[in-house]
Amino acid sequence: MPQIQVTPLGAGQDVGRSCILVSIGGKNVMLDCGMHMGYNDDRRFPDFSYITQNSRLTEFLDCVIISHFHLDHCGALPYMSEMVGFDGPIYMTHPTKAICPILLEDYRKITVDKKGETNFFTSQMIKDCMKKVVAVNLLQTVQVDDELEIKAYYAGHVLGAAMFQIKVGLESVVYTGDYNMTPDRHLGAAWIDKCRPDILISESTYATTIRDSKRCRERDFLKKVHETVERGGKVLIPVFALGRAQELCILLETFWDRMNLKAPIYFSTGLTEKANHYYKLFITWTNQKIRKTFVQRNMFEFKHIKAFDRSYADNPGPMVVFATPGMLHAGQSLHIFKKWAGNEKNMVIMPGYCVQGTVGHKILSGQKKLEMEGRQTLEVKMQVEYMSFSAHADAKGIMQLIRMAEPRSVLLVHGEAKKMEFLKQKIEQEFNINCFMPANGETATTVTNPSVPVDIALSLLKREAALGPLPDPKKPRTMHGTLIMKDNQSLRLVAPEQALKELGLSEHQLRFTCRVQVQNPQSEQDTLNTIYSHLKSVLKEHSIQHLPDGTVMVESILIKVSAAAEEPSTKILLVSWSYQDEELGGYLCTLLRKGLPQSTG
C-alpha cells in the first residue's frame, strides 16, 4: 500500500526545536533543522543517528527545506550540512536565505567566543552551508528531481516565513512551519489554496493555545516605554540586527506623535546597514499597508529615530535606545546596560529569548547582582521587562488553515498524545479526517489512496457514452478495455481491438462445445423443432432462431441435433458457444439436460 511516513526528530516531549523527516513516494525530505536553545551540549542538535549512524546524510535525503530564519528552525543547519555532512539541495525563500547566515553567525559568536564551546560550527561552515541553498519564490513549483516537487506558500509570522507543499506524483504533504492567520502591522496572514494534501503537518502547541492579540502586546511595550520616559528614565532595548528591531522602531515611530512623547529615540549604527538590506526584502514580502506607507521612504529613515553615538549614553534625561547584541552578552548593549543598571528609573526591555550564560538570561531569571569582568559586582536596580512579540497561530487559526487546505489527515508534532485526546476528537469530528500525534522519535505512517490517472482512448469513451447516460461518481459502472503501460510512464485505456493492433497481436477466439444426450424418438428434424418450440417458450427474453441449415441459434449459441449411431431414439445435442456467452451457454446445457417436453403429435 502506498504510504507516507513522518518522524519528528528529537527526544521526549521537548518542544524547543523543529526537525521533521518525511518519506513520501520513495523520497526522503527533512523539514527544518532547528537548534534547541535550552541545551548547552549536543542535545541542542537533532539526533541524526535516526537516519544513519556513521555516514553522511547525502544519500539518505533528497532535500532539506527550511521554513524561516528563527534558530529553532534553522540553527542546526550548518552542523547538519558541514559536520554530519549533506551535499544535496537546501531550499528556503529569498529573505530566509539572506537573514539566516546573519543570525547563525551572531549565535555562533555567543556560543563559541563567549562560552568557549568547541563542538560547534565555524564561520566558514556557515558560508559553505549557504552555498548549498537554493532560494525559491512563493507559489513557484520547484522540481527537486523528476518526481519530487515543492512549492512555498506565504506564512506570515516573520519576514520570509513559508509553508511548504511537498509532492510526489499525486501524494503530497503540507508542512506549515510557524505561521499566523491574523495580519498584523507588517505582515499579512498565511494563505494556502485547496490543495488537498494527504497530510497537513503542524505544531500541536498552536491548537491548544488561545493567543493574546498582537495589539495588546504592542500596547504593553508602548506603555512601558511611555511610563519610563515620563518619569525621566532611560529605556534600553537590546536587539539582534534584524527582525524585532525594525518592527519595534516602526511601532514607536507610528505612535510617537499621538502619544506626545518628547524623548529622543536612538538606533545603534551597527543596525542601520543591515536594516536597509532587510528593508529591501521587506517591501515585496510585507502587506499592502506597509508598502503604501513605506514605498516612498528612502530605506530606513525615520522622523523620530536617530543614529546613536556612544557618548549619548551619558546624556541626562529620558531616551530610548535600540542596541545590539540582543542578549546583552557583549558590545554596545552591554556597555549601555552597565551604565544604566544602577538607576531604578530606567528600564531594559528584552524582546526575545536569551541563552544561558548571557547577562540577558541572568536578569530575566531575576538576578539582581551580577558578576562582571574583574570581579566587579553590578547591582541591577533598573526595571527588567521580558516581552514576547511572536505572531503565531492559535486554536482558531489552525482550524481556519485546515478549512483552507482541506487535507485528508492532520499530523501534529511536539505534543503528548494522552493530553491531546480532546483536540484529536475536535479535528476528527469537525472535518471528518484523521488526526495523528506521533511522539518525538516515533514514526507516524499514513496509508494513502492516490488516484492513478489513466488516459482513455476517445473511441472507447464514445462507445461507453453510447451505452447510456454518463456514469455518476456515486454510481460507478464497470467497463471493458485494455490497460497499456509503456516505459513505466504513461497509462492508457484502449479498446481491445486497438490494443491488439498496437501490440501486433492476433485475437484468439474461445469456443466451448457441450454434448447433451436426450431421449427423443422423433426424427432429427422434429427433435430440432421440439427444441426450438421448447426454448422459445422458456427463454422469452432471448432471440431464438431456427436457421435453414438445421441449427437452432439462441443469441449466438448454436444447437445441432444428431441421432446416436447405435440407438436412434437417443439424440445428441451439440451446444456450442463463444466464451462471451459462457453464462447463457451453461444455462442452456443444464436446461436441455432436464429433458425435452414430450410432443403429442
Partner 1 sequence: MEEDALKEDELDDWLIESIKLYSDLHVFELQETTQVIEWTGEKSICVAGSKSGSRNEILELALPQRLYSKQNQGLCPERDFKVVHGGFSDRPISCLKHIRGTRILVSSGPPDSSLQLWQIGADDSDVIKPLHCIHNKEHTKKWSRIATSASGSPCVLHGSEVKDIQVTDLESKKAIYSLDTDNADSVSSLELLSKDEFLLCSGRGHLWLVDMRQPGSLATPCTVLPQGEGLHWCMGIRNRLSESDAASSRVARLSSSGHVLVTDMRDARSPLCQAKLNLSCESSDYNIMTVTWAPAFDDCLAVSGFNGKVHIYNTKSWIPAFTEEEPLFIHKGHAIAEGPDDWRSAVVTTHVWHPWKPRTLLSAATNGSLHVWDWIDQKMES
Binding interface with partner 1 (CB under 8 A): 182, 207-213, 215-220, 222-223, 226, 254-255, 258-259, 288-289, 364-366, 383-388, 394-396, 399, 418-423, 425-426, 429
Size of the chain in residues: 601
C-alpha distances in angstroms, 426 versus 197, 399, 415? 20, 10, 15
Work out how close the CB of 20 gets to partner 1 at its nearest, in angstroms, rounded to a whole number.
23
Cβ closest to partner 1, residue 133 vs residue 181: 181
Find the shortest distance in angstroms from Cβ 349 to partner 1: 9
Tell the burial category of 477 from Cβ atoms under 10 Å away from its Cβ (0-12, 13-18, 19+).
exposed
The Cα angle at residue 488 between residues 482 and 493, in degrees rounded to 5: 20
447: β partners:
3
The gap between the terminal CA atoms of the chain, to the nearest Å, is: 68
- For residue 217, what is its C-alpha cell? 502586546
Which of residues 381 and 419 has its CB atom nearest to partner 1 in the complex? 419
How far apart are alpha carbons 436 and 444 in whole angstroms? 7
Nearer CB in complex with partner 1: 384/553? 384
By beta-carbon proximity to partner 1, the closer residue of 217 and 329 is 217
**Pairwise CA distance, residues 248 & 109, whole Å:** 24
CB of 222 to partner 1, least distance (A): 6
List, as one string, the DSSP characters of 528-596: HHHHHHHHHHH-TTS-EEE-TTS-EEETTEEEEEEE-SS-TTEEEEEEEEEGGGHHHHHHHHHHHHT-P
Strands 199-203 and 409-413: parallel
Please state, in angstroms and rounded to a whole number, the distance separating the CA atoms of residues 336 and 331.
9
Smallest distance, partner 1 to C-beta of residue 185, A:
9
9: left (phi over 0), alpha (psi -120 to 50) or beta: beta
Q: For the CA atoms of the chain, what is the radius of gyration?
A: 38
Question: Looking at 82, 171, 203, 385, which residue is catalytic?
Answer: 203
Residue 446 CB, shortest distance to partner 1, in Å, is 23
Residue pair 592/561 in contact (Cβ under 8 Å)? The answer is no
CB of 159 to partner 1, least distance (A): 20
Nearest CA to 95 out of 174, 176, 187 is that of 187
Cell of 498: 486497438
Cis peptide before 325 (omega within 30 of 0): yes
Q: For the CB of residue 210, give the shortest distance to partner 1 in the complex, in Å.
A: 4
Distance CA(154)–CA(163), nearest Å, equals: 6
Helices 524-538, 582-593: axis angle to 10 degrees equals 120
Least distance (Å) between residue 495 CB and partner 1: 52
- Nearest CA to 253 out of 186, 340, 325, 336 is that of 186
Taking the C-alpha atoms of residue 382 and residue 229, their distance in angstroms, rounded to an integer, is 13
Q: How far apart are CA 240 and CA 226, in angstroms?
A: 23
CB nearer to partner 1: pick between 162 and 225: 225
| Nearer CB in complex with partner 1: 128/220 | 220
CA distance 248 to 302: 12
Minimum distance, C-beta of residue 419 to partner 1, in the bound complex (Å): 5
The closest of 574, 561, 552, 488 to 147, measured between CA atoms, is: 488
Q: Which is nearer to partner 1, 9 or 382 (CB)?
A: 382
Least distance (Å) between residue 396 CB and partner 1: 5
Q: Smaller CB distance to partner 1: residue 182 or 246?
A: 182
Is 203 among the residues known to form the active site? yes
Nearer to partner 1, 25 or 326 (CB): 326
In terms of C-beta density within 10 A (0-12 exposed, 13-18 middle, 19 or more buried), how is residue 531 classed? buried
Question: How many whole angstroms from its chain centre is CA 596?
Answer: 72
Give whichever of 31 and 248 is closer to partner 1, judged by the CB atom. Answer: 248
The closest of 145, 160, 194, 139 to 25, measured between CA atoms, is 145
The least CB distance from residue 208 to partner 1, in Å, is 5
Nearer to partner 1, 36 or 211 (CB): 211
Q: Which residues are part of the catalytic machinery? A: 203
